[in-house]
């Protein structure tokens, strides 16, 4: 059975992110399939583009945690839809998968992740005993899917999103290097480590409210305007935009991507 990278988009904004992610995975020479879960909100034009980049485009329903109390603690009420990620365990046509958020960019080949067991992931930079659910290695299985749904309904999610469900379901997760889900941080110990190890990054994750497609891009200069504290990520943001401008934007001339996820 084949193995696949799997991502998720519930609207055109995140689908644009997924298109860039898909192109970046091809450009680093992955030998695995690409699969995307989308919901019916994604427009037909963008769906056709996804079909050109992904081997499989699977339409699923939005699963909402309806947990506004917990999500408002995080100030991210829109993250309830990340429960939709749980559909990924139904992809039993694949023997193993690596889930990637749509706001990730592949900068180096990461296919060695497929040698890792379920559930492998990187530490979350907020609470490092937890894993960040933007990247995880998993094995599609209907029994696991059923157990996850039951767990979501009975135990619930401590943050209202998928990360809270998955961390209590997989407490003995396997840690892989941060280079497989590198995110920006404003912590004072981060920058020296970034200078030492940042060039090893394989998957860069643009976590947080400001997504690459929402940054201002100066097309004359070919440069992204970055917000204070995040300048060190600007080479990666520029790489994201270089792929977007060359391979994605020509297909979507009428869409203002900075507004597409509203
Ligand atoms: N997502 C989506 N639509 C939404 C919010 C999230 O499709 O409205 C998907 C998308 O794949 C996204 C992932 O869920 O990358 C997790 O959300 P996000 O990346 O915004 O969370 P963060 O990584 O910033 O915590
Ligand atoms: Mn993300």
pLDDT tens for 5-24 read: 999 999 999 999 999 999 99
**What ipTM was assigned to the predicted interfaces of this complex?**
0.99
Residue 107 in contact with residue 239, Cβ under 8 Å? yes
Binding pocket residue ranges, ligand 1, CB within 6 Å: 7-11, 14, 78, 81-82, 101-103, 134, 207-208
Ligand closest to the CA atom of residue 76: 1
The span from the CA of 249 to the CA of 255, in Å, is 9
pLDDT tens for 134-162 read: 999 999 999 999 899 888 888 888 888 89
Supply the pLDDT for residue 186. 74
Place of tokens 């592949």: 106
From 8, 10, 14, 104, give the residue whose CB has the most ligand 1 atoms within 8 Å, as the site to mutate: 14
Supply the pLDDT for residue 253. 57
pTM of the model: 0.93
Task: Give the bridge partners for 59, in sequence order.
Answer: 38
- Phi and psi for 219 in degrees, rounded to 5? -70, -25
User: Which residues of the chain, if any, have pLDDT below 50?
Assistant: 262
Ligand closest to the CA atom of residue 6: 1
Q: Residue 176: helix, strand or coil by DSSP?
A: coil
Supply the pLDDT for residue 228. 72
Place of tokens 């029994």: 143
Alpha carbon of 87 to ligand 1 centroid (Å):
14
Alpha carbon of 161 to ligand 2 centroid (Å):
12
pLDDT tens for 77-88 read: 666 677 889 999
Residue 212 in contact with residue 16, Cβ under 8 Å? no
Strands (E), 126-170: 131-138
Supply the pLDDT for residue 255. 58
CA 225 to chain centre: 22
Ligand closest to the CA atom of residue 39: 1
DSSP per-residue string spanning 88-112: GGG-TTSSEEEEE-TTEEE-S--GG
């Amino acid at each position: 059975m084949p193995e696949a990278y799997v991502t998720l988009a519930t609207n055109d904004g995140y689908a644009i992110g997924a298109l860039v992610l898909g192109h970046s995975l091809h450009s680093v020479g992955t030998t695995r399939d690409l699969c995307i879960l989308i919901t019916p909100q994604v427009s037909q034009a963008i769906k056709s583009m996804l079909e050109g980049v992904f081997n499989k485009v699977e339409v699923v329903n939005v699963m909402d945690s309806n947990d506004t109390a917990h999500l408002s603690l995080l100030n991210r009420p829109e993250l309830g839809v990340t429960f939709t990620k749980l559909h990924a365990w139904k992809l039993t046509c694949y023997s193993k998968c690596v889930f990637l958020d749509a706001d990730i960019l592949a900068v180096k080949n990461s296919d060695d992740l497929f040698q890792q067991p379920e559930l492998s992931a990187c530490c979350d930079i907020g609470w490092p005993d937890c894993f960040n659910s933007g990247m995880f290695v998993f094995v599609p299985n209907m029994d696991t899917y059923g157990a996850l749904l039951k767990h979501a309904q009975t135990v619930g999610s401590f943050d209202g999103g998928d990360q809270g469900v998955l961390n209590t379901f997989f407490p003995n997760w396997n840690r892989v290097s941060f280079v497989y889900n590198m995110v920006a941080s404003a912590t004072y110990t981060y920058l020296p480590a970034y200078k030492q190890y940042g060039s090893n990054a394989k998957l860069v994750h643009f976590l947080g409210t400001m997504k690459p497609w929402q940054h201002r891009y100066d097309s004359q200069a070919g440069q992204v305007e970055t917000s204070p504290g995040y300048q060190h990520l600007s080479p990666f943001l520029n790489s994201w935009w270089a792929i977007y401008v060359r391979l994605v934007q020509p297909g979507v001339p009428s869409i203002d991507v900075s507004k597409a996820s509203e």
